[in-house]
Amino acid sequence: MKNATDVYIVDGNITVFFGLHAETFKQDILHSSLLGSLATNKKSTTRHDWFNVYKSMLQKIFWVTKSFSIKQNEVTPASLLGLTSTALAAYLSKNQLIELENCFTTLKNLPDDSIELQAILDRIQFNGDADEPETITLHPMLTIVCENKMVISLNITFDINQTVDKSIFDEILIPTTGPKNIQWIAILDEEHYALVRDTVMTKIENKIETALLHLDAQPT
């Protein structure tokens, strides 16, 4: 049996499955998170409240919270890989952190004109407000689905004074604000979710082909 690491781009957000999972479970995670993101885009009023609205949306369709935390970090140069690896070190094994690095390498190696890369870059950066038009706010979200079905969602928000390209994945950035980590650990209540699965599918069926993209992360 293949010990796969699967990478998906879900409405521009990065989702990584570690290990083997039933296809139905994977589709349930992907489809529900896609619905959560699409619904949040319509309801979120600012870039700073996006994740809280997203979390609330998924709780309504049986993502059950195990823990939730917010941490404000100091301003230090860091790469997106460095920020995520540090935040997830307590939950992932050494081998999984290596696999995560491989996933980021796969993303960085995407062609410049690929729809997957463009979806990520469009998602993670916001132009500054009228008072600070030169400021870009980054808010990448990474969802890790572990072999035991634990789902770790990590949203990192910080400001920089430049637009970003695919070098963001592993090159050092100089933030102007300390990164804020929002970490939500949840599990999907599969029994109850099965009761709303058809409703979820109806709401996202016209977005699946364009907003749910699959990649294969290969070791480098």
Q: What is the pLDDT of residues 120-165, one digit of tens each?
A: 999 998 665 545 557 788 999 999 999 999 999 999 999 998 888 9
pTM (two decimals): 0.92
Number of domains in the chain: 1
- What CATH number is attached to the domain comprising 19? 3.40.198
- The token duo for 82 is 């460095």
pLDDT higher than threshold 80 for residue 189: yes
pLDDT of residue 196: 98
pLDDT higher than threshold 80 for residue 108: yes
- Contact, 216 vs 6, CB < 8 A? yes
Domain assignment present for residue 158? The answer is yes
pLDDT of residue 48: 77
- The token duo for 97 is 């952190």
pLDDT of residue 130: 46
Domain extent, residue 84, equals 5-208
- Among 92-101, 112-121, 194-203, 209-218, which is the least confidently predicted range? 209-218
Domain assignment present for residue 214? The answer is no
**Residue with the larger pLDDT of the pair 189 and 218:** 189
Domain assignment present for residue 217? The answer is no
Domain assignment present for residue 153? The answer is yes
- The token duo for 191 is 């029994």
Q: What is the pLDDT of residues 33-67, one digit of tens each?
A: 999 999 999 987 677 789 999 999 999 999 999 99
Domain assignment present for residue 216? The answer is no
Domain assignment present for residue 220? The answer is no
Nearest to 61 by CA among 152, 154, 191, 175: 191
Dihedral angle, C-alpha 85, 115, 119, 162, nearest 10 °:
80
Domain assignment present for residue 9? The answer is yes
Domain assignment present for residue 218? The answer is no
